């Protein structure tokens, strides 16, 4: 070993937190939709991938039009377009594929969700091609802090995650929109009787989930520099796992779950064989669920009478 053991540990923790922040941001979308209508939106991972592609295309258009577009401005525009596109898609999917099936038997929306996931990834494959689409390095600064290398990209990802999470926490807990969401979550029929527009609230929930996924997609593109149509799958599964680990339906749980999975992955890789990284992650998930079936921060299901 060349470096100090402590520095190595912190370096791997930094890597894990960055990855975990992205998982956490995607996981919020799974958990919010599950919380409000009790279904798993399997197309959410592909909404994330679609967000990454929207950001990629925006970047190419921007740099094509104006040479030397400022990086910060480019990132903001990329994120805005990604949010817009992903929200529009997720809203449409909810409207045409999930809403007509609400009240149908439980498996129907699950199957359409899987169908939508396939539709989205194939749509991107056909329209954007099957190859990896690279973009040049947007942010390349790397800082050396006491022997630990932290890139500006990693700092940006963590900061944006914190900002987005705070904004969401405020939205859900402090605004009338959030109140309507929580009411719909607790009892859809009663909320409707008390004047909450349930359909609109559900639509907005999908839009909010998609917006976060799009931000995560833009970050992902910036961090790794490539996007490909299959990108929705692995991060989607990992984020879904994060949502379950943290307690599905719980917003802080989704973030916590994401961070935990990111940390397990990088710390396992740091000290044990990388071959068994995913085995480790899912074993820990299984163990947690055996002892705490509702996840770390999830509330146990209470039968509503």
Partner 1 sequence: MKKTFISALALAASLGVGSAAWADILVGIGAPITGPNAAFGAQIQKGVEQAAADINAAGGINGEQIKLVVGDDVSDPKQGVSVANKFAADGVKVVIGHFNSGVSIPASEVYAENGILEISPAATNPVYTDRGLWNTFRTCGRDDQQGDVAGAYIAEHYKDAKVAVIHDKTPYGQGLADLTKAAMNKAGVTEVLYEGINAGDKDFSALIAKLKEAGVSLVYYGGLHTEAGLIIRQMADQGLKATLMSGDGIVSNELASIAGDAVAGTLNTFPPDPRLKPEAKDLVEKFRASGFEPEAYTMYAYAAMQVLNDAAKAAGSNDTTAIAEALKAKGPFKTVLGELSFDAKGDVTRPDYVMYEWKKGDDGKFTYVQK
What residues make contact with partner 1 under the rule CB under 8 A? 1-3, 8, 11-12, 15-16, 18-19, 125, 129-132, 134, 136-137, 140, 142, 144, 149, 151, 153, 220, 224-226, 228, 230-231, 233-235, 265-267, 269-270, 273-275, 277-278
CA distances from 301 to 77, 182, 295, 304 (A): 41, 16, 11, 9
Q: How far apart are CA 106 and CA 139, in angstroms?
A: 45
Helices (H) and strands (E) counted in the chain, each on its own, are 11, 4
The residues pairing with 133 across neighbouring beta strands, listed in sequence order, are 227
Instruction: State which residue, 167 or 279, has the beta carbon closest to partner 1.
Output: 279
Residue closer to partner 1 by CB (options 222, 297) is: 222
Give start and end residues of each alpha helix (H) in 66-106: 71-93
As a whole number of angstroms, the distance between CA 271 and CA 16 comes to 13
Give the DSSP letter of residue 274: G
**Token match 């209470």: residue?**
302
Q: Which two tokens stand for residue 105?
A: 């038997």
| Least distance between partner 1 and beta carbon 215 (Å) | 17
Nearer to partner 1, 232 or 298 (CB): 232
Nearer of residues 70 and 129 to partner 1, judged by Cβ: 129
Residue with tokens 């074993």: 283
Q: Write down the least CB distance from residue 67 to partner 1, Å.
A: 16
> Beta partners for 145?
148
Shortest CB 17 distance to partner 1, Å: 11
- Considering beta carbons, is residue 143 or 170 the nearer one to partner 1? 143
Query: Nearer Cβ to partner 1, position 8 or 69?
Result: 8
Work out how close the CB of 225 gets to partner 1 at its nearest, in angstroms, rounded to a whole number.
6
Q: In this structure, are residues 22 and 268 in contact, taking their beta carbons and an 8 Å threshold?
A: no
Name the minimum Å distance from CB 213 to partner 1.
Answer: 16
What is the 8-class DSSP label of residue 95? I
In the bound state with partner 1, the residue whose beta carbon lies nearer, of 54 and 191, is: 54
Smallest gap, in angstroms, from Cβ of residue 288 to partner 1?
21
List the one residue out of 166, 161, 200 whose CA is nearest residue 180. Answer: 200
Q: List Cβ neighbours of 269 (8 Å cut-off, separation of 6 or more).
A: 12, 277
Shortest distance (Å) from residue 264 CB to partner 1: 11
On whether the CB atoms of residues 242 and 257 are closer than 8 A, the answer is yes
DSSP letters spanning 171-217: HHHHSHHHHHHHHHHH-HHHHHHTT--HHHHHHHHHHHHHHHHHHHH
- Considering the complex, what minimum distance in angstroms separates the CB of residue 282 from partner 1? 13
Closest CB 134 distance from partner 1, rounded Å: 5
CA-to-CA separations, 188 to 34, 107, 266, in angstroms, rounded = 13, 19, 41
Nearer to partner 1, 36 or 150 (CB): 150
Q: Which residue, 105 or 271, is less far from partner 1 as judged by CB? A: 271
């Amino acid at each position: 070993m060349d470096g100090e053991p402590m520095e190595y540990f912190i370096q791997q923790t930094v890597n894990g937190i960055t990855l975990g922040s992205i998982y956490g941001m995607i996981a919020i979308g799974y958990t919010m939709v599950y919380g409000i209508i009790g279904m798993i939106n399997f197309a959410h991972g592909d909404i994330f991938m679609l967000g990454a592609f929207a950001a990629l295309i925006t970047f190419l258009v921007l740099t094509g039009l104006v040479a030397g577009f400022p990086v910060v401005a480019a990132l903001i525009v990329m994120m805005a377009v990604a949010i817009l596109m992903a929200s529009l898609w997720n809203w449409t999917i909810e409207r045409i594929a999930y809403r007509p099936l609400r009240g149908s038997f439980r498996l129907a929306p699950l199957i359409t969700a899987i169908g939508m996931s396939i539709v989205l990834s194939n749509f991107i494959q056909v329209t954007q091609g099957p190859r990896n689409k690279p973009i040049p390095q947007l942010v390349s600064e790397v800082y050396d802090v006491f022997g630990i290398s932290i890139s500006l990209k990693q700092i940006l990802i963590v900061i944006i995650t914190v900002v987005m999470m705070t904004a969401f926490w405020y939205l859900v807990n402090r605004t009338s929109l959030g109140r309507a969401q929580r009411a719909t979550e607790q009892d859809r029929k009663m909320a409707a009787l008390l004047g909450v527009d349930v359909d609109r609230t559900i639509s907005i929930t999908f839009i909010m989930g998609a917006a976060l996924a799009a931000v995560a997609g833009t970050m992902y593109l910036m961090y790794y520099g490539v996007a490909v149509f299959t990108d929705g799958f692995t991060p989607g599964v990992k984020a879904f796992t994060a949502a379950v680990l943290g307690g599905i339906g719980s917003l802080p749980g989704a973030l916590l779950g994401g961070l935990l999975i990111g940390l397990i992955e990088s710390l396992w890789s740091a000290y044990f064989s990388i071959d068994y990284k995913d085995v480790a992650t899912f074993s820990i998930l299984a163990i947690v669920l055996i002892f705490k079936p509702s996840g770390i921060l999830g509330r146990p299901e209470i039968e509503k009478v």
